[in-house]
Amino acid sequence: MSRFFDLVSKPARDLGTHKAPNIFPAPPEHRSALIKLDSNENPFGPSPRALEAMRTAVGSSNLYPDDDCSPLRRELASYHGLPTEQVLVTAGSTALLSLLCQTLLAPGLNAVTSQCSFIVYSMAVQAAGALLIEAPMREDSFDLEAILAAIDSDTRIVFLANPNNPTGTVLEASVVESFLSRLPGHVVLILDEAYYEFAQHFAALRKTKYSNSLDYVRQGASVVVLRTFSKAHGLAGLRIGYGLGPAELLAYCARMRNTFSVSSVAQAGALAALHDNLHIGRVVENNAIQSQVLDAGLSALGYRVVPTSANSLFCDVGEAGAVVAKRLREEGVAVRPLEHWGAPNCIRVTIGTPEQNQALLSAARQLGMRRAATEPRVSSSARGM
Q: Tens digits of per-residue pLDDT, 272-312?
A: 999 999 999 999 999 999 999 999 999 999 999 999 999 99
Is the separation of the CB atoms in 89 and 136 below 8 Å? no
- Residue 1 — very low, low, confident or very high, per pLDDT cuts 50/70/90? low
Q: What is the mean pLDDT of residues 82-103?
A: 97
Q: What percent of the chain has pLDDT over 70?
A: 89
Q: What percent of the chain has pLDDT over 90?
A: 86
C-alpha distances in angstroms, 49 versus 53, 73, 166, 236, 276? 6, 19, 30, 16, 7
What local confidence, expressed as pLDDT, does residue 382 receive?
A: 43
The pTM for the full model equals 0.91
What local confidence, expressed as pLDDT, does residue 4 receive?
A: 72
Q: What CATH code is assigned to 21-45+278-368? A: 3.90.1150.10
Give Rg (Cα) of the chain.
22
Is the separation of the CB atoms in 229 and 268 below 8 Å? no
- Cα–Cα distance for residue pair 252/74, rounded to 1 Å: 19
Is the separation of the CB atoms in 308 and 298 below 8 Å? no
pLDDT for residue 352 is more than 50 = yes
Report long-range pairs for 28-31 (Cβ below 8 Å, ≥24 apart). 30/329, 30/330, 30/331, 30/332
pLDDT for residue 196 is more than 70 = yes
CATH architecture entry for 48-275? 3-Layer(aba) Sandwich (3.40)
**What are the extents of the domains in the chain?**
21-45+278-368, 48-275
* Average pLDDT score over the chain: 92
CA-closest candidate to residue 195, choices 221, 229, 222, 242:
229
Neighbours of 172 (CB within 10 A): 16
Is the separation of the CB atoms in 123 and 15 below 8 Å? yes
- For β-strands 333-334 and 35-36, DSSP reports them as parallel
- For β-strands 241-244 and 223-228, DSSP reports them as antiparallel
- Residue 223 — very low, low, confident or very high, per pLDDT cuts 50/70/90? very high
- Cα–Cα distance for residue pair 123/120, rounded to 1 Å: 5
